[in-house]
Amino acid sequence: MSAVLPTQAALVPGERQAAAVFRLQSAGIAFGALPALREVTLTIAPGEAVALVGANGSGKSTLLRLLHGLLRPTAGTCSSDGVARQAMLFQRPFMLRTSALNNVALALWLRGTRWREAQGQALAALQRVGLADKAAQPARTLSGGQQQRLALARAWALQPDVLLLDEPTASLDPHAKREVEQLIAEFAAGQGRGKPVTLVFASHNLGQVKRLATRVIYLEHGRVQADLPVQQFFDAERLQAVSPAAHLFVKGELV
């Protein structure tokens, strides 16, 4: 089931580590005998915009779920800033059988906000994504692009410090993709809240990766094969020296 899930990120109890939103050390996940992630070691700092790229089945979605606490490592460790509030947006966001306004307000109410205040904050969030005129409309009757914007409003209303996105524009038409991508860029930059949001997103759209990311991680068969600043990742000579497979992927020659 797809949803936006706010959490207090505490995958491994322990001390808060400064300058690290996430810290993975030789982390692995296996579903029975099938490994999904293998020996992943990385650190994500506050304010980074990290793109996860790779073919289908490379481990991108599994890594996002591990970071969000929906999965536990079966090997190694995954720790996170226990203070940072997270929200995760899935490729097909789950919409409750109620109005667009209530879909946002209920998330706030479940967090402890009084219902009247939650409705006011929800309306502000809908205005932020250009859906105020759809507040009373059943959420499930909205278009795909509108539902994705509604899911972003639901996440934005919760004021997360970390936003995790799994192929947020994969099923949208070009116009809707531009709208959603613009909102993601604004949220990551901290517009409307005064400080940048740490962004980790999976995407097959390399143009989107260039526009949104500051860092790119390429996964293959559950392993990190390249982890570079975005400019270096799209430097063909540099990337080929680091990972020939990632180089072929960017060229479109590795499916």
CATH number at residue 120: 3.40.50.300
Starting at the earlier edge strand, list the strands of the sheet with 34-44.
Answer: 34-44, 22-31, 75-80
Give the total number of structural domains in the chain. Answer: 1
Cα separations (Å) of 210 from 32, 90, 235?
36, 21, 12
Residues 11, 213: Cα–Cα separation, whole Å: 25
CA–CA distance, 192 with 155 (Å, rounded to integer): 13
- Say which residues have a Cβ less than 8 Å from residue 197's Cβ, sequence separation at least 6: 47, 160, 161, 162, 163, 187, 188, 190
Residue with the two structure tokens 């109410």: 109
Below-70 pLDDT ranges, the chain: 1-18, 192-194, 254-255
- d(CA 9, CA 69) in angstroms, rounded, equals 7
Query: Is the residue at 225 inside a domain?
Result: no
Q: How far apart are CA 47 and CA 162, in angstroms?
A: 9
CB 197 within 8 A of CB 236: no
Structural domain containing residue 70? 7-20+45-213
180 lies in a domain? yes
**Do the domain assignments include residue 246?**
no
Q: Write down the pTM of the prediction.
A: 0.86
- Asked if residue 103 is part of any domain, the answer here is yes
**What pLDDT is attached to residue 4?**
42
CA–CA distance, 165 with 162 (Å, rounded to integer): 10
Of 92, 75, 69, whose CA–CA distance to 22 is shortest? 69
Domain assignment present for residue 236? The answer is no
Instruction: Look at residue 171 and tell me if it is in a domain.
Output: yes
Comparing C-alpha atoms, which of 204, 198, 110, 199 is closest to residue 157? Answer: 110
Structural element, H or E, at residue 35 = strand 34-44
How high is the pLDDT of residue 13?
A: 37
Kindly state whether residue 111 falls inside one of the protein's structural domains. Answer: yes
pLDDT at 12: 42
> Is 244 within the bounds of a domain?
no
| Alpha-carbon separation of residue 132 from 8, 91, 125, 136, 147 (angstroms) | 29, 23, 8, 9, 13
pLDDT recorded at residue 2: 39
